[in-house]
Chain A
């Protein structure tokens, strides 16, 4: 997904003279073809995130469409005011590509874990927030990205992620995709963003083995959120489950909850929100290890749903949760 996204910037730049790439201090040789073929539109500006955002704004004020790329925590937290003022206040079409969204950089520790990127980006007026689920969907998204009139935060996953999206599902910014449609009249509805959609599809298989029908909705766009999809699928659902690789405070689950609270006319459905609790992750290892810590692996998602529905006793995973905390 990461390489696809970066390569797509080059592809777009070949067709559209407005497209510019700006990196901070990324891998040697990154987009070397673009650097060779269009050096005036390729920039690598060093560890200067505040300036890079302002510079992108200046270019966008002159009609260009800059794609800015660095590590997700740095392109969100480090230069938050520049993102808010330079890009959002001015409503400029700058695209922020955040490497390592969520828990990707597990071995590098909490400074590099983008647990709050979705929460803080969606809080900004005029900002669009996108987290696709695989490389194929990234290609479909990037083709639409150049002409979107607002700034976009693009959360990248680890790379090499399983491809679960399909061409025939199409892609439109702001429109959720039904990845799996349950046939039961009162299904569980799993709602996810980014690669958590992939985990939810596997979780739905586990639930089916236990006789629980689950739909899976993929929200590649967290903002603007597809409120109609949320409401249509929440209506009559046995439970709505939001799954995100990030903080549950203000993130994707909060966005879904906002819609349900504001617009549900027949009372709220049972709501289960899975994600990172209010803490900085305190383990290393791999991304999978942290998914396991925060019960985001497919089996754990299925277990959380069954527990919440009273199908199994809660003790199993609560014991695990306590064991995972530091002494």
Chain B
């Protein structure tokens, strides 16, 4: 067994353990994933694994945690939610469509020439998208600015920033973390979609993040970890945000890349696809029926 094979085997063990957590998806989680597949089918491409790992985090946020008004997306009293890992946008589009921010039919136009829905989300085009993202490592700084604005205005809106694990390789994320910690922004919540796989491979091989919770704590955050597919656990945790009243929160969500599509789960090759065989799409729908 060479080094690469050994690493793959080691990662497979870890990921198999993760996969077992929260592995039973209920009908709502499957429905939202079918919407993602609808977008993949419409565009003939997309970030599969990166979107599937986000579903329960976004579902719980929009169903149970965020203050929002789909018919008044710029309502000043809303909580802000920034999808900093913009490549996971199909999961965001699915929940925004489900909530009525955008038409469901827009999913069929994903990445089409005149669609509002591109391969990364744009705030000027899509109701409910707070900021355009795509280039990684920008969202937490936006969130710092928004959280400071709430403090200046005396507002009570919270700012959630959802980042990928590969994304937090970026130095700008840690600049923002320093700043958030300094300002003790209790209204800022960093959520990490920790699916353990980035584009080039497993995070522990590419740029190991551990000890991840301790890193956030060292930067002045209150940090905790949760099964990112366990709806009940996520709901219970996110409803009691902030974790501490005197500092920003970091929630490390252990997730499975490609969750819900067994043949895509934990496979770096399913990070992004730029074409699908009809059988692949059919199989994805079958997994989620």
Q: How far is the CB of A179 from chain B (nearest CB, A)?
A: 39
Q: How far is the CB of A228 from chain B (nearest CB, A)?
A: 30
Residue on B nearest A84 in the bound complex, by CB: B135
B-contact 0/1 string along A61-76, CB 8 Å cutoff: 1111000000000000
**Which residues of chain A have C-beta atoms less than 8 A from B179's C-beta?**
45-46, 48, 51, 55
| Size of the chain B interface, CB-CB below 8 angstroms | 30
Pick from B135, B142, B178: contact of A61, CB below 8 A: B142
- A64 touching B171, Cβ below 8 Å: no
- B152 touching A63, Cβ below 8 Å: no
- B132 touching A58, Cβ below 8 Å: no
Pick from A58, A63, A85: contact of B148, CB below 8 A: A58
Residue on B nearest A50 in the bound complex, by CB: B172
Residue on A nearest B155 in the bound complex, by CB: A62
Query: Is A81 among interface residues, defined by CB-CB distance under 8 A?
Result: yes
If A54-B141, A85-B138 touch, whether A48 touches B149 (CB-CB below 8 Å) is no
Query: Is A202 among interface residues, defined by CB-CB distance under 8 A?
Result: no
Scan residues 168-189 of chain B and give those whose CB is less than 8 A from a CB of chain A: 171-172, 175-176, 178-179, 182
**Residues of A participating in the B interface, judged by any CB pair closer than 8 Å:** 40-41, 43, 45-46, 48, 50-64, 81-82, 85-86, 89-90
Pick from B130, B134, B144, B150: contact of A51, CB below 8 A: B144
- B142 touching A54, Cβ below 8 Å: yes
Looking at chain B's contact residues, the main secondary structure is helix
**Which residues of chain B have C-beta atoms less than 8 A from A89's C-beta?**
132
- B141 touching A55, Cβ below 8 Å: yes
Pick from B131, B135, B141, B153: contact of A53, CB below 8 A: B141
> What is the bound-complex CA distance between A89 and B134, given in angstroms?
12
**Which residues of chain B have C-beta atoms less than 8 A from A57's C-beta?**
131, 141-142, 145
Pick from A45, A51, A58, A81: contact of B149, CB below 8 A: A58
- B142 touching A51, Cβ below 8 Å: no
- A59 touching B149, Cβ below 8 Å: yes
Residue on A nearest B123 in the bound complex, by CB: A90
Residue on B nearest A17 in the bound complex, by CB: B152
Query: Is B151 among interface residues, defined by CB-CB distance under 8 A?
Result: yes
Query: Is B143 among interface residues, defined by CB-CB distance under 8 A?
Result: yes
**Which residues of chain B have C-beta atoms less than 8 A from A90's C-beta?**
123-124, 131-132
Query: Is B261 among interface residues, defined by CB-CB distance under 8 A?
Result: no
Q: Give me the 10 closest cross-chain CB pairs, A-B, nearest first.
A: A58-B145, A54-B141, A62-B149, A51-B175, A50-B172, A48-B175, A58-B142, A59-B145, A55-B145, A58-B146
> What is the bound-complex CA distance between A40 and B143, given in angstroms?
17
> What is the bound-complex CA distance between A69 and B101, given in angstroms?
38
- A50 touching B141, Cβ below 8 Å: yes
- B145 touching A50, Cβ below 8 Å: no
- B148 touching A55, Cβ below 8 Å: yes
Residue on B nearest A41 in the bound complex, by CB: B152
> What is the bound-complex CA distance between A81 and B123, given in angstroms?
18
Q: How far is the CB of A91 from chain B (nearest CB, A)?
A: 8
> What is the bound-complex CA distance between A90 and B82, given in angstroms?
14
**Which residues of chain A have C-beta atoms less than 8 A from B132's C-beta?**
85, 89-90
> What is the bound-complex CA distance between A63 and B172, given in angstroms?
23
> What is the bound-complex CA distance between A46 and B174, given in angstroms?
13
**Which residues of chain B have C-beta atoms less than 8 A from A50's C-beta?**
137, 141, 171-172, 175
Residue on B nearest A47 in the bound complex, by CB: B175
Residue on B nearest A45 in the bound complex, by CB: B179
Q: How far is the CB of B135 from chain A (nearest CB, A)?
A: 5
- A54 touching B151, Cβ below 8 Å: no
